Structure 1
Amino acid sequence: MYEEILDTAEELFMKQGYNDTSTRQIANILNITQPNIYYHFKNKEEIYYQVMQRLAKEVGENLNQIAADETRDFDEKLLQMAFYLQKRHPFSLFMMMHDLQHTLQPEIANKLFGLWENSYKQPFLGLFTQEQRIRATVEPDFAVRQLFILISANLDLPEAIKVASLKKTMELFFYGILEK
């Protein structure tokens, strides 16, 4: 039941965010009682932390695998990493950061921010620090933050145009940072 709770909670957190997801919703979807949830988890915050920890591990492994692919160049790797996030993490990164900063206990928020830094940001940052074509005036950390903003802006689009829009966004991003 532990994994089923996490699976259901992840789906709800990804669609609705932390604030708009309740343990009652999770219990109703699973046809269990809330006390059954609390048998496995202390509170909703712990569920969120476990969901995000599990997701961050998976995302980090996949992003690092794409980044390490020596058959792709920088542009292709970034595009594939962005597509992966769009598909696997359809949760607004803005909403996630808002949850971290404003709704969770500082101790949990700090742990989750550390997970995000290591699993989401670091694979991108590694690529940016290795790429020779990036203009000297572009700081890798700043470029990664801007890239996440652009990826997030494409998450709420209808499925039919989501991929094409992200591809256009990435092309715009590349031509804005790569030297000619």
Structure 2
Amino acid sequence: MARKKEVSAEQTLRTIIATAERLFMTHGYRAISTRRIAEECGITQPALYHHFPNKQAIYLEVVRLIMSETEEAMTHVLQDHADSKDRIQRISYFMIMNHQGDMTQMFHDLQFEIAEEHRQTIQDWWMRSYFNPVMQTLTEGIAKGDIKSMSTAPPMELTFFVLEMMKSFLPPSKQEYDARRTFAEKKSKMLVDILFNGIEKK
């Protein structure tokens, strides 16, 4: 019986996080209450508070998991692929497959709705999961001669530029898996082609 309760609690926790992620990313932090999250999970507010003390704690866990999963995926890309083009394409493919296009809401919420004491922690998560893998790929690519070194775009600024390009290719909403995969393959190849071959006629 104890084992059944443990599994049930774990399932409830996963449901809360998945539901909260969908609601927060769709409507924003301020528009969503713990009552709304609990109702959509089919549980009571006291049951929700058994897992999280408040709404901010839920939001932080949603963001932590998104970034943790991204960091794990990026680690595998860096370990398994040495070629700079291959890395950038695979990073872009992962972003398109696993992120929605309008992440502006999330970044707005992190900046204005979350307590300042948590912002440095979130910044560290973002650097490890998003910025550092792209920065490492570009820096190593420049060192190997795969990527042109440009005085007007040092590695740090180039990293921000590449991340913005990836963001611009994200679809506005979740799609069916096969459609999203086709879209991700096309857009990630396009991004690499633009970055490495440019649009100038040779």
Same fold (TM over 0.5): yes
Residues 67, 123 of structure 1: 8 Å contact kept: yes
Q: Deviations over 1:30-74 (max 9, x none)?
A: 11122221221121111011111122111101111112223x521
Q: Which residue of 2 is the match for residue 7 of structure 1? A: 18
Paired with 1:17 and 1:76, the residues of 2 have a C-alpha distance of 34
Paired with 1:118 and 1:79, the residues of 2 have a C-alpha distance of 19
Q: CA deviation at 1:166?
A: 4.5
Q: Which runs of 5+ in 1 are unaligned?
A: none
Paired with 1:134 and 1:18, the residues of 2 have a C-alpha distance of 41
Q: Does 1:100 align with 2:115?
A: no
Q: Which runs of 5+ in 2 are unaligned?
A: 1-11
Q: CA deviation at 1:113?
A: 1.5
The RMSD of aligned alpha carbons is: 2.3
Q: Which residue of 2 is the match for residue 37 of structure 1? A: 48
Q: Which residue of 2 is the match for residue 171 of structure 1? A: 193
Which aligned pairs between 1:25-174 and structure 2 lie closer than 5 A? 25-70=36-81, 73-90=83-100, 92-132=102-142, 133-137=147-151, 138-157=153-172, 159=175, 162-163=183-184, 164-174=186-196
Residues 64, 123 of structure 1: 8 Å contact kept: yes
Q: CA deviation at 1:171?
A: 2.2
Paired with 2:196 and 2:30, the residues of 1 have a C-alpha distance of 35
SS at match of 1:8: helix
Relative to structure 1, the CA distance from residue 167 to residue 113 in structure 2 (aligned partners, 3 Å threshold; closer, same or farther) is: same
Is 10-19 or 129-138 further displaced after alignment? Answer: 10-19
Q: CA deviation at 1:96?
A: 2.5
Q: Which residue of 1 is the match for residue 3 of structure 2? A: none
Give identity over the alignment, percent: 28
Paired with 1:92 and 1:162, the residues of 2 have a C-alpha distance of 16
Q: CA deviation at 1:106?
A: 0.7
Paired with 1:27 and 1:60, the residues of 2 have a C-alpha distance of 29
SS at match of 2:162: helix
Relative to structure 1, the CA distance from residue 146 to residue 18 in structure 2 (aligned partners, 3 Å threshold; closer, same or farther) is: farther
- In the superposition, the TM-score normalised over structure 2's length comes to 0.76
Aligned length: 176
Q: CA deviation at 1:91?
A: 5.7
